[in-house]
């Protein structure tokens, strides 16, 4: 559904949307504006709340006496997906609502955030994750230590390769959904209601948790895995930690490439081939 757009002063512009220019790789000017630091604080607080609610849900479930007494794995998956929905909704207009270094990495590869901002976000997210899990440990220390600390590890019966593959594909689903939700082409055609974007992103997190909790407890968020590993500080959690950084970053890379080069056809458009209509 393409809309007729009258553009004054623009020739040959049949599109009803405008792609923003690529973010500069190094933008030191950002360091001088309050909105940059406000965004960092927002990412820190969002990731703190995310880890606090989700890890508390995990420990609370495991703490119950009977196997049927807690909220169940379905409830845990809802906690992760639901919190992402809530927090992306709250911070979308402030920081873009990443709450996940893999999402930040994917958007950086797509030139939507600068290197300075990307690094700042990742650090804020990791610090927020540590503080969030720290709160959980402070509030329920004994069950936290005895029940696995909410840390991500490869479950018995699965190989490291399987876990890596699961993390890659899981993060691909999430970052691909983020790209679709934030695509300026879609925003123009959805009558510019970006507030609706957080729902599918939250659902994507929920879905991936349903699928991969049995395998790795589901990372797909390096800050989440890092925060739990730091506070729990267990050998196995650290042994497997590399999976929860390499996997998500590879998945984000694949999603960025898929969206930019296949769905948006950046390279093909540059070559001018396969041009079907001006709104493509």
Q: Which residues form the interface with other proteins (CB under 8 A)? A: 1, 67-68, 72-74, 77, 157-158, 162, 165-166, 169, 172-173, 176-177, 180-181, 183, 185-186, 189-191, 193, 196, 199-200, 203-204, 206-208, 210-215, 258, 262-263, 265, 268, 273-276, 280
Tell me how far apart the alpha carbons of residues 49 and 162 are, in angstroms, rounded to a whole number. Answer: 30
Q: Looking at beta carbons only, is 72 or 93 nearer to other proteins?
A: 72
Rounded to a whole number of angstroms, the minimum distance from the CB of residue 187 to other proteins is 9
Rounded to a whole number of angstroms, the minimum distance from the CB of residue 262 to other proteins is 6
Rounded to a whole number of angstroms, the minimum distance from the CB of residue 260 to other proteins is 12
Q: Looking at beta carbons only, is 1 or 28 nearer to other proteins?
A: 1
Of 201, 205, 41, 208, the residue nearest 127 (C-alpha): 41
Rounded to a whole number of angstroms, the minimum distance from the CB of residue 38 to other proteins is 28
Rounded to a whole number of angstroms, the minimum distance from the CB of residue 128 to other proteins is 26
Q: Looking at beta carbons only, is 19 or 138 nearer to other proteins?
A: 19
Q: Looking at beta carbons only, is 89 or 135 nearer to other proteins?
A: 89
Rounded to a whole number of angstroms, the minimum distance from the CB of residue 94 to other proteins is 22
Tell me how far apart the alpha carbons of residues 224 and 242 are, in angstroms, rounded to a whole number. Answer: 13
Q: Looking at beta carbons only, is 115 or 278 nearer to other proteins?
A: 278
- Joined together, the tokens standing for residue 156 give 């018995």
Q: Looking at beta carbons only, is 123 or 211 nearer to other proteins?
A: 211
Q: Looking at beta carbons only, is 71 or 123 nearer to other proteins?
A: 71
DSSP secondary structure, the chain, as one string: -------TT-SS---SS-PPPPPPS--GGGGGSHHHHHHHHHHHHHHHHHHHHHHHHHHHHHHSSSTTTS-HHHHHHHHHHHHHHHHHHHHTTTT----SHHHHHHHHHTTSS-HHHHHHHHHHHHHHHHHHHHHHHHHSHHHHHHTGGG---PPTT--HHHHHHHHHHHHHHHHHHHHHHH-HHHHHHTTS-GGGTHHHHHHHHHHHHHHHHHHHS----HHHHHHHHHHH--HHHHHTTTHHHHHHHHHHHHHHHIIIIIIS-HHHHHHTTT---TT-
Rounded to a whole number of angstroms, the minimum distance from the CB of residue 126 to other proteins is 27
């Amino acid at each position: 559904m393409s809309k007729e757009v009258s553009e004054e002063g623009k020739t040959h512009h049949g599109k009803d949307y405008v792609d923003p220019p690529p973010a500069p790789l190094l933008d030191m000017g950002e360091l001088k504006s309050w909105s940059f630091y406000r965004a960092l604080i927002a990412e820190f607080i969002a990731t703190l709340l995310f880890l606090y609610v989700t890890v508390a849900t995990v420990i609370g479930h495991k703490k119950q006496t009977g196997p049927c007494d807690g909220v169940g794995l379905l409830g845990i998956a809802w906690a992760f997906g639901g919190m992402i929905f809530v927090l992306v909704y709250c911070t979308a207009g402030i920081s873009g609502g990443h709450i996940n270094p893999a999402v930040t990495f994917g958007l950086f590869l797509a030139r939507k955030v600068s290197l300075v901002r990307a690094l700042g976000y990742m650090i804020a997210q990791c610090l927020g994750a540590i503080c969030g899990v720290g709160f959980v440990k402070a509030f329920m220390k004994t069950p936290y230590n005895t029940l696995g600390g909410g840390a991500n590890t490869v479950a018995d019966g699965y190989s490291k390769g399987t876990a890596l593959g699961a993390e890659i594909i899981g993060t691909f689903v999430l970052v691909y959904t983020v790209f679709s939700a934030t695509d300026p082409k879609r925003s123009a055609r959805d009558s510019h209601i970006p507030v609706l974007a957080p729902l599918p992103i939250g659902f994507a997190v929920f879905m991936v948790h349903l699928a991969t909790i049995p395998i790795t407890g589901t990372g797909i968020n390096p800050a989440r895995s890092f925060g739990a590993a730091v506070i729990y500080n267990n050998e196995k959690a650290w042994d497997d930690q590399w999976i929860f950084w390499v996997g998500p970053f590879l998945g984000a890379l694949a999603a960025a490439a898929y969206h930019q080069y296949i769905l948006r056809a950046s390279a093909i458009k540059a070559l001018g081939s396969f041009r079907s209509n001006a709104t493509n």
